Structure 1
Amino acid sequence: MVAIPKTQTAATVPKLGGGVVFKHDYPVPQPGHNEILAKILYSGVCQSDLHTQAGTAMSADGSYIRNVKLPHVGGHEGIGRIVALGPGVTEDIKIGSYVGVPFIARVCRRCNYCLAAKEQYCAKQLNHLHHRDGSFQEYIVIGADYLAVLPDDIDPVVMGPILCAGVTTYKAVKNANVKAGDSVVVVGAGGGLGHLAVQYALAQGAIVYGVDGGAEKGEFLKSYGIHGYIDFTNTPDVVAKVKELTNGGADAAIVVANNQKAYAQAAEMLTIGGTLNCVGLPPDKVYLQTTVATIALRALNITGNLVGSLKECLEAVEFVRRGVVKPKVVVRPFEDLPKIYEELVRGEVLGRIVLKIAKDE
């Protein structure tokens, strides 16, 4: 029997924009009916965590998200082990199993989106970013009805980022209709989202090009087998270079960077009938600078996606479990979270940073 403490360490945000405050006497929640308690081992750090705690996360209508539980505990790329079961949990869920702490916490399971396996758009969904305490704490309660039980042979160190960054980019590749032989440009390719988008596209047999800044990111991406790298810091015309490399334009462009410049000319990179998939969420109102005539006359497709379904999440996990996709992670102490947010703002993070939450594992 695992000893469960009454209090724990949690990275709290007392008010949006007020910074992170570590609380060492934060209550350990108790699992209620049909809920489990998990001990968090590791958690990835996402740009969405950064913007939510800063009060700069954007909603679908372009306004800032203010409906955030306070004190806020972020984290939606967590990996833990089940340490306790609440009443009513079915026998197939076992103590000791690995579980994920993804973006989505609960869904209604009855609306048209849930019934169509698009539950990430459920109007009644609750998530670990805005409504429920996330994985920046030592223990977490999760509903058993929407539980990401993971295989026993996963590597918990690398798997956390797949629960958000991984499934989001896997879904982006699917929504961009990427097929074997297609040319795909990933804008922001060297970051936590980007290096996964590159690999999921390569896994489909695509010809993949990365756009990012600096020689270090270029060498990093070449280690995954990309077919070309465009360094925007020394390329006068990125669009022209993309067209040169792809013989007229890419079949798909996946933008994972979260700034205006990344989106300014993204659609111009595409060939006729090409698809632009929007992933990165800038912390301001940002618009595509492409005329309607261009979209219509060149038959362009504009798509986007919000993470993915639980099934798609587990599909994304399987690519990593089988070694087809290999996340680049750097493990850092839990207490480094404020520093990591600063590094994300400065664009200094290569791959994904993962926090070691559990002290004794």
Structure 2
Amino acid sequence: MSNKVPEQMKAQVLEAYNKPYTLTDLPVPEISSDDDILVKVDAAGYCHTDAVLAAGQMKPNPPAFPHIGSHEFAGTVVAVPKTPSAAAKSYPVGTRVGVPRRGYHVCGTCFECRDPNNDYEGFSNFCGKGLSNGLSKHGGFEYAVVDARQVALLPASMSAVDAAPLMCAGVTIYRALKRCRLSSGQRVGIVGAGGGLGHLGLQFAEAMGLRITGVDAADGPLQLAKSLGTKATIVDARSTPAGDVVKEIGKADGVQDPANMGLDAVIILPESQASFDYGCKLLKNHGLCVVVSFPENGFNVSARDLVFRDISVVGTLLGNNSDLQEMVSFASKHNVKAVSKTFALKQLNDLVDEYNKGGGGKLVVDMAI
């Protein structure tokens, strides 16, 4: 069942909202289902949703305290059930896996779980009763029990530090780009292009053959977006009105009709109304706005855009397990990597301080430090 798994682990826990993490000794979690596998985490990312949860804004399912965070991590399987399910058999001890947040112990009976297109019969990571690693259950700050049906096999060439950010930021922006339903040569915009999701999105979109407009409104993220070396046009929303961007796109495309100038689709990553409005202004008529962020008070949508410009607005979350594995393979093939800064587990509060500076990219706990 196991490979010399210790009884105790070091874990970073939240003991209350708006408090620093506390490094403490806790029992290593135990397998409780034939679908479970125990993962020794090698690297764990810190995501915007971790900050939202720590601030007490994760509704309607707040965690129980003390709570172990991180919902994007990568590690090595160190224990499997005595009678493993078919899924658990696919990840024997020693297998390297990446783990996203959704899909732990789903109900198996709701309409989502019964969807015949699911990766596993009776399993959907959209199940409303399934738990989320690092959110509604303990996450990856250091050992974690996860559902074998929710993980991705990692290629040997991909390090844990590179894999961890892909498990939330990577699969989320990859799924958002797929929701745009664009063909090579079409135009996509990424608002929030220098953030954790955005800078990965620039790389994915370029590898997909899309023409990209990246938008941000802070010096650090803008510098990061420009440093990636993609062919994306990077726009500072503080100094360049959306209308000017649209006109430049029209000139480049040789388009005279203002209604047909602009982007085919735009992805909204920041949680500000200004970002949403800016992104929608970049769209040509019949364009698609894909919303990833979820501000507590929502977004105000222009009915005029919906009715007179035929703009469509859709939301997106994590994809299914097939999307996850497809994304990992795509990232490996095209060398898509997060620009990351690493910290030791004991430095997690320093990582949070760095996150709050808003410098862009990804922050990762490397358990080897």
What is the CA RMSD across the aligned residues, in angstroms?
Answer: 2.1
How big is each residue's C-alpha offset from its partner over 1:181-218, in whole Å with a ceiling of 9 and x where there is no partner?
Answer: 11111111011100111122222211101111355544
1:17 aligns with 2:22: no
Counterpart for residue 70 of structure 1: 65
Using the alignment, how far apart are the partners of 2:152 and 2:45 within structure 1? 16
How big is each residue's C-alpha offset from its partner over 1:121-159, in whole Å with a ceiling of 9 and x where there is no partner?
Answer: 2122211132211012x2111233444333344222201
Q: Which amino acid aligns with 1:287?
A: F
Q: Which amino acid aligns with 1:352?
A: K
> Matches of residues 1-361 of structure 1 in structure 2 within 5 Å?
2-23=3-24, 25-34=25-34, 35-57=36-58, 64-89=59-84, 90=86, 91-104=89-102, 105-114=104-113, 115=115, 116-117=117-118, 119-136=124-141, 138-214=142-218, 217-222=221-226, 223-235=228-240, 237=241, 239-247=242-250, 248-282=261-295, 284-290=296-302, 292-348=303-359, 350-358=360-368
Query: Structure 1's 216 and 243: CA in aligned 2 closer, same or farther, altered over 3 A?
Result: same
Query: Structure 1's 113 and 230: CA in aligned 2 closer, same or farther, altered over 3 A?
Result: same
Deviates more, 1:141-150 or 1:303-312: 141-150
Query: Structure 1's 133 and 21: CA in aligned 2 closer, same or farther, altered over 3 A?
Result: same
Query: Structure 1's 131 and 216: CA in aligned 2 closer, same or farther, altered over 3 A?
Result: closer
Query: Structure 1's 200 and 323: CA in aligned 2 closer, same or farther, altered over 3 A?
Result: closer
CA contact (8 A) 1:40 1:358 kept: no
Q: CA deviation at 1:66?
A: 4.3
CA contact (8 A) 2:221 2:361 kept: no
Using the alignment, how far apart are the partners of 2:311 and 2:137 within structure 1? 38
Q: CA deviation at 1:108?
A: 3.1
How big is each residue's C-alpha offset from its partner over 1:259-318, in whole Å with a ceiling of 9 and x where there is no partner?
Answer: 333123322221011110111233x3032342x132122111101111111110111111
Q: Which amino acid aligns with 1:281?
A: F
Using the alignment, how far apart are the partners of 1:54 and 1:336 within structure 2? 19
Query: Structure 1's 97 and 152: CA in aligned 2 closer, same or farther, altered over 3 A?
Result: farther
SS in 2 for 1:121: coil
Using the alignment, how far apart are the partners of 1:333 and 1:92 within structure 2? 31
Query: Structure 1's 92 and 160: CA in aligned 2 closer, same or farther, altered over 3 A?
Result: same
Using the alignment, how far apart are the partners of 1:26 and 1:258 within structure 2? 35
Q: Which amino acid aligns with 1:241?
A: D
SS in 2 for 1:353: strand
Q: Which amino acid aligns with 2:298?
A: V
Q: CA deviation at 1:13?
A: 0.9
Using the alignment, how far apart are the partners of 1:55 and 1:146 within structure 2? 26
Q: Aligned pair count?
A: 346
How big is each residue's C-alpha offset from its partner over 1:191-247, in whole Å with a ceiling of 9 and x where there is no partner?
Answer: 110011112222221110111135554443233313311112333x2x113212321
Query: Structure 1's 220 and 182: CA in aligned 2 closer, same or farther, altered over 3 A?
Result: same
CA contact (8 A) 1:19 1:54 kept: no
Counterpart for residue 61 of structure 1: none
Using the alignment, how far apart are the partners of 1:142 and 1:134 within structure 2? 9
CA contact (8 A) 1:209 1:226 kept: no
Using the alignment, how far apart are the partners of 1:10 and 1:242 within structure 2? 47
Counterpart for residue 255 of structure 2: none
Query: Structure 1's 49 and 141: CA in aligned 2 closer, same or farther, altered over 3 A?
Result: same
SS in 1 for 2:318: coil
Using the alignment, how far apart are the partners of 2:221 and 2:22 within structure 1? 32
> Which runs of 5 or more structure 1 residues have no equivalent in the other structure?
58-63
Question: TM-score w.r.t. structure 1 length?
Answer: 0.89
Q: Which amino acid aligns with 2:224?
A: F
Q: CA deviation at 1:36?
A: 1.7
CA contact (8 A) 2:189 2:279 kept: no
> Which runs of 5 or more structure 2 residues have no equivalent in the other structure?
251-260
CA contact (8 A) 2:9 2:143 kept: yes
Using the alignment, how far apart are the partners of 1:322 and 1:315 within structure 2? 11
Q: CA deviation at 1:163?
A: 0.8
Q: Could you tell me the percent identity over the aligned residues?
A: 29
Q: Which amino acid aligns with 2:168?
A: C
CA contact (8 A) 1:331 1:354 kept: yes
Using the alignment, how far apart are the partners of 1:286 and 1:345 within structure 2? 22
